[in-house]
Every structure is written in C-alpha cells, then in structure tokens.
Chain A
Amino acid sequence: EIALTQSPGTLSLSPGDRATLSCRASQSVSSNYLAWYQHKPGQAPRLLIYGASKRATGIPDRFSGSGSGTDFTLTFSSLEPEDFAVYFCQQYGSSPWTFGQGTKVEIK
C-alpha cells in the first residue's frame, strides 16, 4: 500500500499569497495517477487536479499541479478568500487507492 505524506500540516497565509503544498509517496505513483481535492467543513470534497497536473472541470487556473514519481505539488498562484480549506492528495495508481492526511490552509 502506498503511503502519502503531505506537508506542511498547516499553512498560515494571507489572501494574495502564493502557496505550495507537498505530497510525497512512499513509492512511485504509477502513471502519475495523483489527484488533489479541496475540502471545507460541512461540504462535499471538490476535485481540483487529476493525473498530477490536469485541472478538473471548472477549476480556476490559479490552481496548478505538478510532479512525478514520488513527489507532487499543488500550487496556488494567488490565494483567494474562498481557498482557505483543507487540501488532500490521493493516489490511484496502485490498489488500494490511498489519501494523504491533508494540509490545512488557514488565514494568517
């Protein structure tokens, strides 16, 4: 089973800041099958990125994903107020699919 470790656990930032979240896999993720989600309390999680770098339908271009193998990154070019949430990664290259523990992006 592939373990995903996200860092940092919490990121304190201001609107307009650039942010970089990391997701590291315990072994190589096949075909870069890595997704990122946004989750706000009481809401359904929202798919942001799949295939490591492909934006999901309707996701603004301030979100971008990159990486390959064992190291992946989610980048926000400029944080909007609605972006403060928990972000988690998921690999779907090797069964069972696994998730990272999440990074909370909070308002500084």
Chain B
Amino acid sequence: EVQLLESGGGLVKPGGSLRLSCAASGFTFNYYAMSWVRQAPGKGLEWVSSIDNRGITTYYADSVKGRFTISRDNSNNTLFLQMNSLRAEDTALYYCAKDWRFFDYWGQGALVTVSS
C-alpha cells in the first residue's frame, strides 16, 4: 500500500524558514518523480514544485521560485521542501504527491502557518 506521510509543518514568522519532509513507502521511490501541492485556507489547490526520480531536475511555481527548494533522499525514501523567506500567503496545507504531471497518490498534508 502506497503511503506518503508529511511532517515538519508549524507556525513560523514572516521571513522565517521551515523544512517539510515526506516519508514514502509502498512503492519503488527512486522510480518516480515527486511533487508538492498546497491549498491555502478557503482557496483551491496550487502546484508548488516537482523533482525527477534522480533528484537532478526540479520545477517550481513562479510564486515560490527562488525561495523554496525541493530535494529528495532516495536511500531513505524521503522527499523534502525547504521553504525560506516565508510570507503570509504561503500559509497552506502542503501535500506531498507521487509523480509530476497528475498525482496518483497524496499524503494527508502538513499545515504551515506564516504569522507574526
């Protein structure tokens, strides 16, 4: 059974940093690209970032480019999202999702709140 478990969410002040992790199991992690998708309170879903299966090629939404960094550790089946220079508008539930175009499995999300 595929499982994706996010961690690392929390409350952070504007300008601060946070690192999300996603522990994956139930599939061959290093075969698949992975992604992050977020949902701000009362808003729709927004694709944030994707990374290829080897961790070489990365993609970012314009809204986070230059501030967020996606990475992965294939030896430990873990996906990361390093978030710097956080803004109030980054407040959202962040989902880890398998693959990079459409997402066949999702985690339950990690809540990130950016507030002073």
Instruction: Let me know if B95 and A99 touch, CB within 8 A.
Output: no
Chain B interface size range: 10 to 19
Which of B47, B102, B104: most chain A CB closer than 10 A? B102
28 A-B pairs with C-beta separation under 8 A: A35-B102, A35-B103, A37-B103, A44-B4, A44-B106, A44-B107, A45-B95, A45-B103, A45-B106, A47-B102, A47-B104, A47-B105, A50-B102, A50-B104, A56-B104, A90-B45, A95-B59, A96-B47, A96-B62, A97-B47, A97-B101, A98-B47, A99-B44, A99-B45, A99-B47, A100-B44, A101-B44, A102-B44
Give 15 new A-B contacts, CB below 8 A, not counting A57-B104, A101-B44: A33-B101, A33-B102, A35-B102, A35-B103, A37-B103, A42-B108, A43-B108, A44-B95, A44-B106, A44-B107, A45-B106, A47-B105, A90-B45, A92-B102, A97-B47
